[in-house]
Chain A
Amino acid sequence: MREVFLVEAKRTPQVKSGMDLKDIEAPYLGAYLLRHILDAHTLSNDHIDEVIFGNIGTPAKYPNLGRVIALEAGLHKKTSAYTVNRNCASGMEALSQAYLKIATGRGDLIFAGGVESMSLLPLIFGRKMTDLFVTLMKAKSFPAKLKALSAFRPPHLAPVVAIKQGLTDPICGLDMGQTAELLSRELNITRLDQDQFANESHKKTVASQARGAFDDEIVPIIVGEKLDKMLTKDIGPRSNSSVEGLAKMRPFFDRKSGTVTIGNSCPVTDGGSAILLASKEAVKKYNLEPMAKMVDYHFHGLEPQRMGMGPLLAIDGVLKRTKLKLSDMDLVEINEAFAAQVLAVQKGLKDQDVAKKFGVDTVWGEVPESKLNVNGGGIALGHPVGSTGSRLVVTLAHELKRRKAKYGLASLCIGGGQGGAVIIENLQK
């Protein structure tokens, strides 16, 4: 296996859905990042072997988003490009595939990333209305058409909300928030724990914003109805967040006895991220200065109704594969889909009984606060589902660089009952 380098890692500002990025179609959340990265390293548009992008809510207009991103970025027409979907880890899946391809010599320069416009997820006509359209189209004569139309009833117009359906597990029937409720009940994670965790996320992100910690990873994006404004910062982190304020919110997923609120979950968000990966040969040939090395990755499945625990299994897997210890990690990013779920993972890492329950035979130890999500996470920054898998690595790589640290681990839970984890090694000392 060949070594795989992260040459550059960039992302869009992340913005709560329905705000500044709401009208930007998914390809445009990625294409400009690629162009920016090529420019920054004086690479030409025909140097790239492949583009792999993660996305979940595939817009009907762009069945293969990856290819659209490649072409909109101005990459050469010969560039192979495709789209991957591993639900919340799609961006990480893209990264992993790029890693494998370079490691096995199938490519030398590959863009991997993810994009998600959750604002533009559609409303869909229900089955009955769709059937009616089909009969109507098949009907040849006027009476037949009339007959088809006469079957119409107003409730047919009730739309299916794609985003709601997408966030509900088809196997266990729980929506994602309910899986977090389940973990909080079973592992006794209190409302206060969750609210405190959420509050910390906002505080850390706001502080990081203030000291410009994200400036190197964010590429300003053109926004506004007339496309004449530039957005340079994430919109979502709240400087006025407080535990008291969070405590006032009503549980959303189990309205009577639940603990998971909108406040201690990640908001629905728009955003994109892109990483350029390279082989050693490409690094030499194009005189590149890589930020980091990708060490390895691991994906692992578990029962869908406890999907929030996915990171525990993925971290366990990637550490075993790389023969590293959790304590070797200088920084750890665990995506904050729900405060309850990150707290559950922490329990699983340090508590043998919990670990065992999930089939993990090693107690890896708790991740100290000084290493975990040091710039905040999904609760403050949001979770553009197709992008987060690669976004975590973008933020991780930049923070490792800033700290001149060595190893970093990024992990996230995946709707449907999986976890994913990636380890990178910083080269910028």
Chain B
Amino acid sequence: MTYKKISYEIKDNVAYIGLGHNDHKAMIVIDEDLLVDLEKAVGELSKDIAKLKGMILFSHNPNVFAAGADINIISSFKDENEAAAGAAKGQAVFNLIEDLKIHTVACVDGVCLGGGLELALVCDTILVSDNPKTSLGLPEVQLGLIPGFGGTYRLPKKLGLPTSLDLILSGKKLNAKRAKKYGIASEVYPSERLLDMATKHLSDRPKKSTLKKSLTGFASSNFITKKIFFQKAREAVLKKTMGLYQAPLKIINVLEEGDFDNRKNYLNSEASAFGELCMSEQSRNLRHLFFLMEGAKKFDGDKGSSDTAKNFKRGAALGAGTMGGGITWLMADNAMMPIMKDLEQSALELGLKQSSAIFSGAKKRKKIDKATFIRKQRSITPQLSYSGFKNVDLIIEAVVENIDIKKKVFAELEEQISDNCIVASNTSALSINEMASTFKKSNRFAGLHFFNPVNRMPLVEIITHDRVAPETVYALYQWCLKVKKTPIVVKDAPGFLVNRILVPYISEAFYLAQEGVPIIDIERACLNFGMPMGPFRLSDEVGLDVGIKIGKILQEGLGERFVLPQFTYKLVGDGFLGKKNNRGLYTYSSDGKEDGLNEAIDKYLTTNKVKMDEIEIQMRVFLPMINEAASILEEGIVKTPGEVDLGLIFGIGFPPFRGGILRYADSEGLDRILGAIERFSKDVSNTRYAPSAYLKKLVEEKRTFY
């Protein structure tokens, strides 16, 4: 018998099935070949069943058990039936393993997610290795899917309903230790010992159920408690997702209505739910996003003369404000022992506070322990001088957003650093080309635009300029990946990528308010569209003064379409700056919690309120974004529509289930989009809604962004 993807052998009366045999890919995925192989192996094994003590399922790849079903296959299904049949095929093979009359053990050493975990779950015992790569979970929900290979059947059987529902709905990944704590794994062993120890577990008997377990078991099978439990779960999901995501609700339905006493019936319902979700627009969009993210993990630009990217060992942040403190935190968290320089001790303390707050948050969430917090926070060197800057190979500047000050700082800085040090500016809108001109060695310089808060926003815009060395861009890109950020390479132009698309959106929201549309209606329309916060709330977060500054830069660089409504200037003049001074479109309590809309704003707006349809509001604010994104593509600020979509999702939280703004535009139909823009151009403003030439061209040629 020959196998393509697995190894099969019998040793000392134990059958060994090894995944990833002959597979040189970094990730082992569950595909057609693997399923065929597994079926064959079970067939062969059944012949010898009488003399076998058990079966051990393991992986030849030290860092991956199985990473789940091949997403390309999922995307290739043509309709719900085909997708459901695909799931059923996997279920059938998995059932064969489950039905084996011998004891089966899965040895998980590395990634074991989605279909991988569903495969492990068919074994009687799961053992995990202490490999830091070991991670178990069912993340299907994040792709808008339901686990389709029996995961929603077997996990609850093993862990009980409450725990398993939490795992399936969150898509949470567990490390080895937690997998044992949750009860998925029976034991944790060192990687090297995993297979040896597995033979000792071949005689494991199912553990006696504990009192707590039988109580929860009783509660979840009891008709009334079950009903309450699922109702609570549904409420929690609705609250968290505002009802915008289908998959979690579908998962709850399957688990609630599923017949856990009849495997065949249950798995049928799971497969058909999988088929349904697989074909949903949402899942397609989320899978699209998944591929965009995977794509961003590879640098496909010019690497210059470098084979491998320069590795930054030691970092420094210039300026210890909110961003400087956040960047210092990022470096400290990544063992770069950062130097943080500012002009005053009080400023340094603000930066320390910023970093400390982020570490404390991680400590509270039990991501790090106290000793790690102390070590990392103490690895920061706060100082007023340039001492040690020659030991640093990456400097990120985050001083005040003033081009003259920045230029002065860079001229001074370049005297203090070593020849191969790379310098980046965290400016959010100032010209990178102009800053570059102050450098003697301008090829070492680029923009590196982080979003606030640094620890939560994954996006980083790498801003190039005319004289930047490709090696610089490559090194920065690889560094961003290393510190778990999502980088996008953007050409230097006013507002770069994200702010240039964000400003028209926020600006238009303010125009709507000026026209008399109640702020609360605008906020709600945007939230219902899926934005994580409304445009006014976001303005408060960014700071209205900052917004105006960026608006001005855009207006000067790109024209009248970026003129902000008059009353925004008045607001800033009267001290409405946003969250930073607890005085913005909203009011805030002393601990920074939002306290509702600020009534003091009303007097800046007309008393003649306009009732506007929600969809009309959404079109008014989102169409200018699409229009601007089209111009950006035309000017080549970024290369692909995927980068625009990734930028907006990770930079401002554009709803992931829509797959990005351009994918959304494509799905709505560009002709309809253009039509609406043209209508607004007539009815609202012919500068702000002047249709992009590129958008027109696409419509003319009947093409889409993608």
Contact = CB atoms under 8 A, between A and B. Distances in A.
A74 to B, nearest CB: 5
B388 A40 contact: yes
Contact of A44 (B355, B387, B391): B391
Contacts of B390: 42
Contacts of A42: 388, 390-391
B381 interface: yes
B391 A222 contact: no
A42 B382 CA distance: 17
Contacts of A28: 374, 378
Interface in A172-215: none
B360 A39 contact: no
A326 B594 CA distance: 71
B353 A230 contact: no
Contacts of A44: 391
B480 interface: no
A38 B378 contact: no
Contact of B339 (A25, A39, A226): A39
A224 B6 CA distance: 57
A64 interface: no
A32 B380 CA distance: 9
Contacts of B378: 28, 31-32, 72, 222, 227
A72 B349 CA distance: 22
A33 B127 CA distance: 46
B158 interface: no
- Looking at chain B's contact residues, the main secondary structure is helix
Given A32-B381, A39-B339, A229 B352 contact: yes
Contact of A40 (B377, B382, B387): B387
A412 to B, nearest CB: 29
Contacts of B644: none
Contacts of B357: 226
B163 interface: no
A28 B356 CA distance: 17
Given A39-B388, A42-B391, A228 B337 contact: no
B385 to A, nearest CB: 9
Determine which residue in A36, A220, A228 has the highest number of CB atoms from chain B within 10 A of its CB, and name it: A228
Nearest to A72: B375
Contact of B381 (A36, A43, A228): A36
Contacts of B360: 226
Contact of A230 (B345, B374, B377): B345
Interface string A22-37: 0001001001100110
A220 B382 contact: yes
Contacts of B375: 72
B391 A228 contact: no
Interface residues of B, number: 25
Interface string B358-384: 001000000000000111011111110
Interface in B135-179: none
Interface string A395-426: 00000000000000000000000000000000
A232 interface: yes
B387 A222 contact: no
B348 A230 contact: yes
Contacts of A25: 374
Contacts of B377: 222, 227
Contact of A228 (B339, B352, B379, B388): B352
Nearest to A42: B390
Determine which residue in A40, A222, A229, A230 has the highest number of CB atoms from chain B within 10 A of its CB, and name it: A222
Given A226-B356, A226-B360, A228-B353, A35 B337 contact: yes
A39 B345 CA distance: 19
B388 A222 contact: no
Contacts of A74: 337, 379
Given A39-B339, A72-B375, A222-B352, A230 B387 contact: no
A228 B391 CA distance: 24
Nearest to B325: A228
A28 B380 CA distance: 12
Contacts of A220: 345, 382-383
A44 B377 CA distance: 21
A228 B381 CA distance: 12
Contacts of B391: 38-39, 42-44
Interface string B533-577: 000000000000000000000000000000000000000000000
B642 to A, nearest CB: 39
Contacts of A72: 375, 378
A25 B375 CA distance: 11
Contacts of B381: 32, 35-36, 39
Contact of A229 (B339, B349, B374): B349
A227 B352 contact: yes
B82 to A, nearest CB: 56
Interface string B387-406: 11011000000000000000
A72 B339 CA distance: 15
Contacts of A222: 352, 377-378, 380, 382
A44 B387 CA distance: 14
Contact of A36 (B348, B349, B380, B387): B387
A228 B356 contact: yes
Contact of B356 (A31, A36, A39, A227): A227
A388 B573 CA distance: 57
Interface in A368-404: none
B547 to A, nearest CB: 28
B356 to A, nearest CB: 4
A229 B352 CA distance: 7
B341 to A, nearest CB: 12
A232 B356 CA distance: 19
Nearest to A229: B349
Contact of B387 (A39, A43, A226): A39
Interface string B323-353: 0000000000000010100000100110011
Contacts of A39: 339, 381, 387-388, 391
Contacts of A38: 388, 391
Contacts of A32: 378, 381
Contacts of B353: 226, 228
A232 B374 CA distance: 19
Interface in A13-29: 25, 28
Contacts of B387: 36, 39-40
Interface in A270-324: none
Interface string B622-655: 0000000000000000000000000000000000
Interface string B93-115: 00000000000000000000000
Contacts of A40: 387-388
Given A35-B337, A39-B387, A44-B391, A227 B374 contact: yes
B345 to A, nearest CB: 6
B349 A228 contact: yes
B637 to A, nearest CB: 38
A400 to B, nearest CB: 22
Interface in A39-60: 39-40, 42-44
A222 B378 CA distance: 7
A38 B379 CA distance: 14
A35 B392 CA distance: 12
A36 B390 CA distance: 12
A82 B345 CA distance: 34
Contacts of B356: 226-228
Contacts of B348: 230
Interface of B: 337, 339, 345, 348-349, 352-353, 355-357, 360, 373-375, 377-383, 387-388, 390-391
7 contacts: A44-B391, A72-B375, A222-B378, A227-B352, A227-B356, A227-B378, A228-B356
Top 8 closest pairs, chain A to chain B, by CB: A39-B388, A228-B353, A228-B352, A42-B390, A228-B356, A227-B377, A226-B356, A40-B387
Given A227-B356, A228-B349, A230-B345, 10 more contacts: A25-B374, A28-B374, A35-B381, A43-B391, A72-B375, A226-B357, A227-B378, A228-B355, A229-B349, A230-B352
